[in-house]
Each structure stands twice: as structure tokens, then as C-alpha cells.
Chains A and B, each alone.
Chain A
């Protein structure tokens, strides 16, 4: 069981607190989405976990150990922090070979991760000729090089084309399915919703939520029912009679907040209201997230900080 443990972690840059008394655990076997607006402290937290920045106070450990105590860290932890990490004048293969050599990893692994990230055909081209999406794939290749149990990816879908985004989704699900610990930061809600099982949400360096994604959404956004009819008057009267506050939209469909299709379907059928369409509207992570930040007014107008 390899987890990431963050305990009372605080990092100050001058007088600014980038990370403020943060405590959470990232567990294996699931994808943990690391959410928050730009400047919320996601990247800083990742750098602190990797021992690149020194915390002002608190600790961050992987498998109970500070990162710097790993003898061959790439065999335990893989990280993508910045797509610009590879020198432009080097080829992708040489970039990965240098990383592999430092941790006594075989050249076979280099070829394997190039294959896995779809870079084999361009492996001998200089990185400067790569698009942002290809650099992102190279960064992911570097993260997977040592076949690590723990994977930290900072905004991995940045710059990826639609095909690449589908690929990364599958990759993250597969890594978690193999029992690895996967932490993925993002500020894109719909993207995160497509792969995360669990969420850690930050705002101004503080922990706002640490819950399973389904719970996070359902606790904040009530399910709605979408319904369409040819007899608006009858529908309105039956809904009102049963205490539902339905809203009619311009294109003619109705939404019934805080309701389930099972109930609304029975009501309409019993009253003989003709139904053209009846569907449950899934609450989205975006709605839940906005609800969370709305209740925490200080996080709504977030200055863009690096």
C-alpha cells in the first residue's frame, strides 16, 4: 500500500501562503483528482511532495518516507510537472535515456514507454520540433519510465488533442486499476469528472474537500428531471399539485429540480399527461464545484497567481 501523505503542510513565498496547513491522503487503486483554480496551490503541493521545494512547516511523504530518501526514486514515483522539462535540442529517446541511466533503468523501458505514449516514430527527433501535445506525451513517458507505484501528473491533458485526451483518460483508469496511486491535478471540471474516483479540492492553499467524487457531486447538486409534453397546462397543474416547482424553458422542455424520474413519470402517467421525453439530468462536477466555491465567497474571485 503506497500512499501519499500530506500532513499540516504549509509553504510561504515571502508573505504569501501558497499552501496553508494542508492535510490529506492519496490512496492507491483509484484516481484522485486534484482540483482548484489557478494559483490554489496544486503545483506547489506536488513540488513539496517531490522534495523540490522545502515546506515552511509540515511534512509530505510517499510510502511514509520523504521523497529525497528514495535511492532510485523513479522506480517508486513518476511525475509530470512541466511539459517543457526536456531540453529542446535533445531527442526524446536521449532525454529518456539520461533519466533511465540515473536510476539504473534499462533501455528496454525507454522503448516501452515511447511505445506506450505513441512516440516511437518520432523518438529520434529533437524535442524542439514537438507540438505541446507531443511534449506532454514525452513528460508522461518520463513519469512512467520506472514503472512506479505512485504517479503524480500536473495538468496532463494540457495541449493534448481530442484523441490524446481519450488516451490519457484510459491510461489513468488503467494505472489505478493496476493498484497504483494516481494523483492528477486539473482546473478542468468535465475532464476531471471523466477519470477521477476521488477528489481533493483546494482553494487559496487550503483544503476545501476530500471526498469520493460521486458523494461530492450528490451532496451539493440535487438531481433534476427533464421533461417534455404537448400539454403544458396539464403538466404544470399536476406538478404544482404535488409540490414540484417546475421551470419551463424556451425550447419547450421543463426541468423539475430535486426530483427523480420514477416519481415524475408516475405522476404524469396517472394524470394522463402526454409525455414526449422524460430523463434524469445528471448533476455535473462543474455544478458541484461552483456550488462549493459559491459558499466560500472568498474563492470565487480568484486572482491569477503562478
Chain B
């Protein structure tokens, strides 16, 4: 069985579920809205203009995670997975097609989110944004696309591994909202390598940790790769 028909099928499944389309729209809207708020409320302290302009990703990534999780969990309820694997019994190919069908729209929406967030954020920052170079802006936009895609895939891989969207969200959301900050405050060295923190370096104009913007995204990519391998292993191994 060729890969493209399976990919086409998975793409139809994604665009025909309102919750998935809604999650993708939420990524753009939520990120841009919170970036505007964050940039308006910078106060008097020294701000990182790039981080202020992309401040909303903290919330937008929740929508990206919801997208990745739901795209997989929608196949897990009832007999859906059996139906899918009856049509495509080559499970590795099915899983790969599913992940590409998640990654491509995530990247596209992530890039749009980056542009929207940068535009809205710099407008709100006004004079504070002047220190921002073109290169830094492009880095932020590309980073935003890649980071959100990696987070969506991380969630998708984890959902396939745990075979539960609820379990995945109840691990990831508290982790991103709370655990990452707490651990980050306690031990900066280790926390730099957490899946979310590593990738977020790309949103900073300057950094002082051991990871730079691209090496940070590479670390996040390794986490995502591990989650995808674990998810693929579970899909291939277990009875459907």
C-alpha cells in the first residue's frame, strides 16, 4: 500500500473533525491575543522584546497539545482504531501517515501564529520593540512554527503510547503550567533540557543557558522523537 493514499485519508479525518479545526484556530487566536496582552503589560522592568512579542505561545501551545492529543485519541474511542487498522493493516505506515497529517497543519498554523504574534506583539510593544532585528523576528516566527509542531507531535506520540487522550492531557497540561516552572526555579541546569523549556530558548533575544535557540529546538525534537517512537512501538505491538 502506498503512503500517499493513507496520508490523504488521515488528512480527511483531521479536517472533518470540528474539534481539531477549532484547536488549530485556537492556536493562532490565543497566542496572538496573549502576546498582545503580554506586550502591553511590560511594566518598567528590562524586557526581552522578542519574548514579549511571543509571550502568548505559553497559552497557544496548550491548543497545539490539544490538537495533537485529540487527533490521535479520536481514533481510540470505541472501535475506531480497529476500523482504521482494518483499512490500513500496515500499522507503521498508518502511524507515520497520522503523524505527518498532524505535523503539516501544525507547522503551517505555527508559522501563521508566529507572524500574527510578532505583528501584534511588536505593535503593542511600540518603542520597546525597536531593538528587535529582522533576523530575530524571523527566528521567532520559524521557531514558533517548529516549536508548536514539536509539541503537537510530542502530545500525539504520548497519546499513542498511553492509549488515552485524557491521560495525556492530565500529564502534559499540569506539567507545562506548573511543573516546568517549579523545576526550572529549583535547578536551572536540568530544567533547561525539559522538552518545553529547551525549545523555548528560540523565543528569547538573548540566552545564558547551555542551549541556544536551534540546539534547544533540537533537544525538544529529541523528546518528540522519543515520544513518537514509543507511540509507534505501542501501536505496532498491541492488540487493537
Contact = CB atoms under 8 A, between A and B. Distances in A.
In which size bucket is the chain A interface? Answer: 20 to 34
Interface string A81-97: 11011110111001001
Interface stretch (A72-80, A187-195, A200-208, A296-304): A72-80
Nearest to A135: B78
Interface in B74-99: 74, 77-80, 82-83, 85-90
Contacts of A71: 1
Nearest to B17: A89
Given A81-B82, A85-B78, A89-B19, A98 B89 contact: no
A217 B33 CA distance: 73
A70 B87 contact: no
Given A73-B89, A91-B16, A98-B10, 16 more contacts: A50-B86, A54-B239, A73-B87, A74-B87, A79-B86, A81-B82, A81-B83, A82-B83, A85-B78, A94-B12, A94-B16, A97-B16, A98-B12, A98-B16, A99-B9, A99-B87
A73 B12 contact: no
Contact of A102 (B16, B77, B88, B239): B88
Interface of A: 47, 50-54, 67-68, 70-74, 77, 79, 81-82, 84-87, 89-91, 94, 97-99, 101-104, 142
A102 B78 contact: no
Interface residues of B, number: 27
B233 to A, nearest CB: 14
Nearest to B5: A104
Interface in B1-41: 1, 5-6, 8-10, 12-13, 16-19
B5 A47 contact: no
A102 B17 contact: no
A91 B13 CA distance: 11
Contacts of B6: 102
A68 B90 contact: yes
B13 A98 contact: yes
A53 B82 CA distance: 10
Nearest to B239: A53
Contacts of A142: 83
Contact of A52 (B8, B13, B78, B239): B239
A52 B87 contact: no
